């Protein structure tokens, strides 16, 4: 099966600490790399994760708070110094466009690659990226500024053809794709071999939902129902639920409620408040509601 992995570059929140970097992840899917959020220090974490700068296709910025975007301009500048030539696509709230252009004009003269900005409507759920193997759609969230998450979905795969049936019926290689697309086979005697006997069901498609900074949304589970893996911010423990509501953040227990109600495969926690030297408490509170919960940490890699 082609890899579908999440590389965690940073999982802290706004206040810098010695434990965590600011928010950033890389989604690796079918040998393509996409970044979600780009907090300060992200390019250092790319180096530590041995992710080559030139392989990054696009960056998705969830919202315009510094711990999610301050690293973007510096990273682009470094890309220029390492000889990148392929276009870099940036997706983010509309206001990012003007700020990005001003920064590029001032600091990034002579880039040998195009930086292509795509304004995102954070209040609508829509497909904003698509190629032959996946789609990326927005997930409207509730934060103090316009904010959205991102949902990465594999497109449905083709069925598997049975090798024993290929050999038994002497099916030529040239016909394998036709059979995967649903065709029957007619053997040398004119007998029709139905497609269902020639194939086995396709591997189920995988999906990853990244829910950046947001207060608890009781309806969020409907937008991400059944995803393979969910990342949901979990800034606070339950005793700070009032603070979470005030600052439009979530507790780890609330993140677990979303995961449970959405029937996801597993839950990744992150965006920890600087008040916690040990996030074990956040994990335990989440696991009481949704046992298949995990703490993210810098350098961790999760299979979707």
- Token pair of 221, please? 């589970």
Domain limit, last residue, from 138, 168, 200 = 200
pTM given for the model: 0.92
d(CA 304, CA 92): 24
Q: Residue 113 in contact with residue 86, Cβ under 8 Å?
A: yes
d(CA 34, CA 183): 35
Using CA atoms, how far residue 12 sits from 159, 181, 186, in Å, is 41, 45, 60
Amino acid 187: pLDDT: 83
Domain limit, last residue, from 148, 181, 200 = 200
Residues 259 and 119 occupy one common structural domain? yes
Residues 258 and 290 occupy one common structural domain? yes
Residues 281 and 175 occupy one common structural domain? no
d(CA 64, CA 183): 50
Residues 137 and 14 occupy one common structural domain? yes
Amino acid 193: pLDDT: 87
Residues 260 and 296 occupy one common structural domain? yes
> What is the full DSSP assignment across 121-132?
-TTS--EEEE-S
Q: Residue 269 in contact with residue 253, Cβ under 8 Å?
A: no
Residues 228 and 292 occupy one common structural domain? yes
| Average pLDDT, consecutive stretches of 10 residues, N- to C-terminus, the chain (304 residues) | 94 94 96 96 96 95 98 97 95 97 94 97 98 96 98 91 86 86 85 87 92 98 98 98 97 98 98 96 98 98 97
Residues 231 and 208 occupy one common structural domain? yes
Place of tokens 């470094």: 78
Nearest to residue 34, comparing CAs of 10, 3, 9, 55?
55
Which CATH number does the domain housing residue 37 bear?
A: 3.60.15.10
d(CA 195, CA 285): 49
Residues 124 and 237 occupy one common structural domain? yes
Q: Residue 225 in contact with residue 263, Cβ under 8 Å?
A: yes
Nearest to residue 107, comparing CAs of 119, 115, 116?
115
Residues 105 and 229 occupy one common structural domain? yes
Amino acid 203: pLDDT: 86
- Token pair of 96, please? 């990012």
Residues 146 and 226 occupy one common structural domain? yes
Kindly give the residue spans of alpha helices, DSSP state H, lying in the chain. Answer: 42-48, 66-69, 72-81, 95-107, 163-169, 176-180, 195-198, 220-223, 241-246, 252-262, 280-289
Residues 41 and 138 occupy one common structural domain? yes
**What's the structural domain count of the chain?**
2
Amino acid 115: pLDDT: 98
Q: Residue 236 in contact with residue 250, Cβ under 8 Å?
A: yes
Domain limit, last residue, from 200, 232, 266 = 200
Positions marked active-site: 67
Amino acid 120: pLDDT: 98
Residues 54 and 115 occupy one common structural domain? yes
Amino acid 199: pLDDT: 86
What is the extent of the structural domain holding 151? 4-157+203-303
């Amino acid at each position: 099966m082609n890899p579908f992995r999440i590389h965690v570059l940073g999982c802290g929140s706004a206040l810098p600490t010695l434990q965590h970097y600011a928010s950033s992840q890389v989604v690796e899917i079918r040998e393509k790399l996409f970044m979600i959020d780009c907090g300060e220090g992200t390019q250092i974490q790319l180096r530590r994760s041995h992710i080559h700068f030139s392989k990054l296709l696009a960056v998705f910025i969830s919202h315009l708070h510094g711990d999610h975007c301050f690293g973007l301009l510096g990273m682009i500048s470094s890309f220029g110094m390492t000889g990148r030539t392929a276009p870099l696509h940036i997706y983010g709230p509309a206001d990012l466009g003007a700020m990005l252009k001003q920064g590029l004009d001032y600091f990034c003269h002579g880039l040998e690659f195009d930086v292509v900005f795509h304004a995102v409507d954070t209040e609508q759920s829509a497909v904003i990226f698509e190629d032959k193997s996946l789609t990326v759609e927005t997930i409207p969230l509730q934060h103090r500024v316009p904010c959205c998450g991102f949902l990465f979905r594999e497109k449905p795969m083709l069925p598997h053809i049975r090798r024993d049936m290929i050999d038994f019926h002497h099916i030529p290689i040239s016909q394998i794709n036709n059979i995967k697309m649903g065709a029957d086979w007619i053997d040398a005697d004119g007998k029709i071999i139905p497609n269902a006997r020639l194939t086995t069901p396709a591997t189920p498609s995988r999906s990853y939902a990244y829910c950046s900074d947001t207060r608890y949304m009781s309806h969020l589970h409907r937008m991400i129902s059944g995803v393979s893996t969910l990342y949901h911010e979990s800034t606070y423990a339950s005793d700070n639920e009032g603070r979470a509501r005030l600052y439009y953040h979530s507790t780890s227990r609330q993140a677990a409620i979303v995961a449970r109600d959405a029937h996801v495969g597993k839950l990744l926690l992150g965006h920890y408040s600087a008040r916690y030297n040990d996030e074990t408490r956040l994990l335990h509170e989440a696991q009481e509601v949704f046992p298949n919960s995990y703490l993210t940490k810098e350098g961790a890699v999760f299979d979707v």
